[in-house]
Structure 1
Amino acid sequence: MFHLTRNNIPFFLPLGFVGLYRWFWFFVRILAYCLYKPLKPRKHPRYKSYRDVTILVPTIDSGEEIKMALKSWLLNRPAEVIFITIPKALAALEALAHEVDPEGRHVRVITVKKGNKRNQMVAGINQVRTEIIVFCDDDVVWPETMLDYLLAPFEDRQMGGVGTSQTVITKNKRMTIWEILAAYRITMRNIEVTSSTYIDGGVCCLSGRTATYRTAILRDPDFQKEFTNEFWRGKYHQHSGDDKFLTRWMHSHSWKTFIQACPEAELASTFKDNWHFLKQLLRWTRNTWRSDIRSVIFERYVWTRHPFVAFSMVDKFFNPITLIAGPVTVAFLATRPDTTIPPWAIVVSYIVWLLVTRLIKYMPHFIRRPQDVLAIPVWLVFNMAFMFMKVYCLFTLYVTDWGTRAGADHKKPETEEEIAKLAAEKDISEIYIPYWSMDLDEWPYYPRTWVGTEHPRYKSRNVLEPFEGEEPDKPAEQYNVSRSTAFESGQTLSLADVQDIIVPAPQSQIDGTQPLDSTASTQQEAVIPIPSHMLSPPTLTNPSDFATSRSGAYDIESRGEQSQVAAGQPYVVVQGSKNLKSTEANTDARV
């Protein structure tokens, strides 16, 4: 080869650097991928699936694959599964839910007027009564250990979102070539997100197929407003790309992310088994272009929090150039008039090189499915075509619909003026976004949350990050902080449902209790008045409904010891410990 190129060193030297650069960073990723270790659940975890997890499934379908997926989710014992669908699919989904969960204890179906995934997600968020939300595609199958492993990273109070590794399953007897191509892509994605998690704790995207978040983050009105009103270049309303938005929100609001890449937390998902896979690919590629441009050029939070992820995003910008370098080199050598090697030999040598290198790159996939080695030639052709697809997507970023979900792309206004007009006509009220027009000081607390992440001053920022001029929060462990719940006066409660909090009132306002002694060795009970604006969100018309919910975390009717709340006004019950201290704070204090 050097004999062929010795007279063209200035031309080939840059190409040599391109090849060296690509392979160097590939081996960096492979090394990180091999060194990575998932977080295993603790013996006594802070969060339990039956008490703390709600699965949200935005869908417009009701096929058999949903039934199989739902059964796998329920084996993980979540508190609740909520399907958010459109009226047309309501009856079929309710029948499916009744078939899988005849008693109706764990599966619920709600509707929005018009199909739009982001609106459906927000509608579901505002129905949740647990501390953790899992978004899940309707065709995703889980292992029985999925939720235990997804909850493990949340032992870190700064953890905001957790994703998983993935694999491909087929609805047919054997995979089609389209599904094999999808499996190749998933393998490389698993390597990418696992290596970035190991290197700097970041991830380019917490895939919407299954992703876990703290409810407190997603209940922030600012998040919900921006999430449902994201525009590209201020003109094109974004329908897809919800998972990219959520990942960027984690980066910009100082929350950690993590990928659980292990068999115990590996989801299995179907992909299009025909040429419609190309439509999926176009949508993913456009979303990647739009989101990565926002991340590295406009928002730029990722540069300081996760520099390796930022570098990976920039690297993708130049992929079309590096992909074309090889064919250009071969064409140049094969068409030289003074070449001493037949052109066919040059082409064959290049093809053999591609086959061998791709065999090395996708070895993790071939270990699991060795028969897919036969598809490498098709993958090479597909990869060359994908080079042109990426360029095409770059010039068509104004296309923001799904393309593969019939009924999911309901005609929506495409400009901010049209959105405002539609909002005035109250045609989008079904997304249940609470208190957009209210002063944040009046925005209610979310019952049963941790360390006040829903407080107006914190919104969805990381609670451990102080505001300018504000004293930093003491570590949560110092206060033994956990949960609080607001109920109507006279409601019968179980003390098992309410745990330690920082008291949200001066000592003089505590009714009928002894002072909370920080040195006491025994548990104490306190009944503390709270302002009415700290009651349940509007999705619960009666706070007592919250207390008697069928959700496992609030099934107080089946609990033992009871305590009667004093009459007069709404109260919160506190179960104190030796680390619990009263704080001289106003009603704006943290719960």
Structure 2
Amino acid sequence: MNLPIYYYVLGTPLGVLGLIRWGTWLVRRIPAVLYKPVINEHRLPLSIVVPVYQEDPEILATAIESWLANDVEEVILVIDASDTTCQDVAARYPVTVLITDVPGKRDALRRGWRAARTELVALVDSDTIWADDVAVEVAKPFADPRIGGVGTRQSVYGSRGFLARITDMFLDHRYFDENAAQSLLGKAVSCLSGRTAVYRRELLLDIEDDFMNETFWGVQSLSGDDKRLTTLVLERGHLTYMQRTAEVWSTFPDRWRTFFRQRLRWARNTWRSDMRALSKPWVWRHPFLAYTMIDKGVSSFTLLLGPIAMGYALVTQNWILAGVLLLWWQVSRAAKLAPHIRRRPSSFFFVLGYVVVSWLMAIIKITALVTIRKQAWLTRQVAVENGEVVRTAGAGADIGRHDDDNRDHDDHDNVIPLRRAAA
């Protein structure tokens, strides 16, 4: 008997699960549509603190020029002692340079904010390029004295190709969906990305001991600094907000191996932070934040039911089911990515690629959960040994292949011009 197509979708557990997942998404999407950036005349002086480790010299120079163009109070570069190339780049600009021989990003951040002189401190990655009004925009939410930290909107800079396009789609989904909803419902953004996050300096000084001495199940934490800082600010009773009119651009990996290593590290950090947060009372004072943490963890598993169903359809030669699944993924994901597709209409043809990468990321997240106690930067020559952050073999040998988070820089002739996107 030939059944109508909707029986294959709604009459199966996969179809029911799809409706549930759509419902959980709408809980985020509706408030996300209502989000608005803060608009006022509030302004505070701002210091920029940048840990620098084996950054591409051209990217670093471009980034420094963009920060200085924002007329900030000071730019403080905390440069690893092994990185003489970046020290030479910094010497060309009116910036403060601190040289450190202590491995690891956290100590560099702490040295920087201790040296800062202003009420607001922006913690910025060394490959992050600012629009010309970021300093003005990020100060506006701080008119509310409860706000302890403010995040920005980020896009891909400096590379082209499939991975760059997919990463840009993921970023827009984050800033037009999860972060927008969290900002509206409770002003509690779960992670102010380390590419550019602005904090009240007095809070950074207050939480620095907890930040520097973080452990998870008895192991010293190495990465996850942005997630940890955001959590500590919320834990102290302050709020966090995403100011989407403050736009920055960062480089991202264009090689699969680097991409996977980056995502594995991020996933471990997220599991550790969210599991710890959900076990403490403070997070339940932000019910929507707790909801998104739980939903993100659950989706790591439910996402994989899609490829399992497609595999079953192909093995059994159920072409109708296979076709329905493909159509459903194309239409449903395009709907969820509508803000991005409005900005870059050609991304509609990358939607199924986005779906496949989502499955790969789900596998990475499950792998991260299984290996959650492992502390490794994966792209920096540092590691935790006997409870201490130490340099590992090869440190200092790869100048120009920086990564705080990622990044191989191969093709700077294909730099994407900076331009205003819709807020």
Aligned twin of 1:219: 205
Among 253, 269, 281, which residue is 2:250 paired with? 269
Q: Give the C-alpha shift of residue 413 in structure 1.
A: 3.4
Of 98, 103, 106, the residue aligned with 2:91 is 98
User: Following the alignment from structure 2 to structure 1, what is the Cα–Cα distance between the partners of residues 248 and 96?
Assistant: 22
**Residue 295 (structure 1) aligned with residue 267 (structure 2):** no
Separation of aligned partners in 2, 1:192 and 1:54: 28
How far has the Cα of 1:109 moved from its partner? 0.8
In the alignment, structure 1 residue 66 sits paired with structure 2 residue 60: yes
Query: Counterpart in 2 of 1:249?
Result: 232
Q: Distance in 2 between matches of 1:165 and 1:8?
A: 36
State the alpha-carbon separation in 1 of the partners of residues 5 and 36 from structure 2.
Answer: 46
Return the letter of the residue paired with 1:85: I
The residue matched to 2:82 in structure 1 has which SS?
A: helix
Q: Using the alignment, how far apart are the partners of 1:186 and 1:34 within structure 2?
A: 16
Instruction: Give SS of 1:41's match.
Output: coil
Give the counterpart letter for 1:88 in structure 2. S
SS in 2 for 1:201: coil
Aligned residue for 2:347?
372
What is the aligned partner in structure 1 of residue 20 from structure 2? 21
Residue 41 of structure 1 contacts residue 149 of structure 1 at CA under 8 Å; is this kept in 2?
no
Distance 1:6 1:18, change over 3 A: closer
Choose from 124, 132, 151 the match for 2:139: 151
1:345 CA drift (Å): 2.3
Task: Give structure 1 stretches of 5+ with no counterpart.
Answer: 337-341, 423-591
* 1:178 corresponds to 2:163: yes
Q: Which has the larger radius of gyration?
A: 1
* 1:202–1:309 CA contact under 8 A, matched in 2: yes
Contact 2:47 2:121 in 1 (8 A): yes
Shift of 1:308: 0.6
Contact 2:38 2:141 in 1 (8 A): yes
Alpha-carbon distance in structure 1 between the residues aligned to 2:17 and 2:102: 48
| CA distance in structure 2 between the partners assigned to 1:250 and 1:258 by the alignment | 11
> Residue 120 of structure 2 aligns to which amino acid in structure 1?
I
In 1, Cα distance between equivalents of 2:145 and 2:180 = 21
CA distance in 2 between partners of 1:247 and 1:8 (Å): 40
Aligned CA distance change for structure 1 residues 147 and 7 (closer, same or farther; 3 Å): closer
SS of aligned partner of 2:90 = helix
Q: Residue in 1 aligned with 2:326?
A: 351
1:148–1:64 CA distance, 2 compared to 1 (3 A): same
Give the 3 Å change call, closer, same or farther, for CA 8–84 of structure 1 in structure 2: closer
Instruction: Work out which of the residue numbers 61, 70, 77 in structure 1 matches 2:71.
Output: 77
Q: 1:4 deviation in Å?
A: 8.0
Q: How many percent of aligned residue pairs carry the same amino acid?
A: 32
Offset, 1:122: 0.9
Post-superposition Cα deviations, 1:420-456, rounded to whole Å, max 9, x if no partner, equal: xx9xxxxxxxxxxxxxxxxxxxxxxxxxxxxxxxxxx
How far the C-alpha of 1:151 sits from its partner, in A, is 0.7
Task: Report the Cα offset of residue 18 of structure 1.
Answer: 2.3
Aligned-partner SS, 2:21: helix
Which residue is 2:266 aligned to? 284
Partners of 1:57 and 1:82 within 8 A in 2: yes
Shift, 1:202, TM fit: 1.1
Contact 2:51 2:79 in 1 (8 A): yes
The reply to whether residue 130 of structure 1 matches residue 111 of structure 2 is: no
Report the CA distance between 1:5 and its aligned residue.
9.3
Aligned residue number for residue 386 of structure 1: 361
- Hey, what's the Cα distance between the residues in 2 that align with 1:81 and 1:198? 31
The code of the aligned residue for 1:300 comes to P
RMSD: 2.4
Deviations 1:42-101 (A, max 9, x none): 1xx3x43xxx21100011124110111111111111111111121122x433432232x3
Q: Does residue 1:413 correspond to 2:385, yes or no?
A: yes
CA distance in 2: counterparts of 1:274 and 1:380, whole angstroms: 18
Secondary structure in 2 matching 1:358: helix
Paired residues of 1:168 and 1:271 also in contact (CA < 8 A)? yes
Query: In structure 1, what is the Cα distance between the partners aligned to 2:319 and 2:69?
Result: 57
Please state whether the residue corresponding to 2:303 is helix, strand or coil: helix
Give the TM-score taking structure 2 as reference length.
0.85
Please say if residues 134 and 211 of structure 1, whose CA atoms lie closer than 8 Å, have aligned partners that are also in contact: yes
Choose the corresponding residue for 1:319, options 292, 299, 305.
Answer: 299
In 2: Cα distance, 1:330 partner to 1:2 partner: 19
- Give the C-alpha shift of residue 289 in structure 1: 0.9
- Aligned length in residues: 386
Give unpaired runs (5+ residues) of structure 2: 391-423
Considering fraction of residues, name the structure with more helix: 2
Residue aligned with 2:98, SS: strand
Question: Which residue number in structure 1 is paired with residue 222 of structure 2?
Answer: 239
Q: Give the TM-score, by structure 1 length.
A: 0.62
Q: Deviations over 1:428-486 (max 9, x none)?
A: xxxxxxxxxxxxxxxxxxxxxxxxxxxxxxxxxxxxxxxxxxxxxxxxxxxxxxxxxxx
Q: What secondary structure is seen at the aligned counterpart in 1 of 2:185?
A: helix
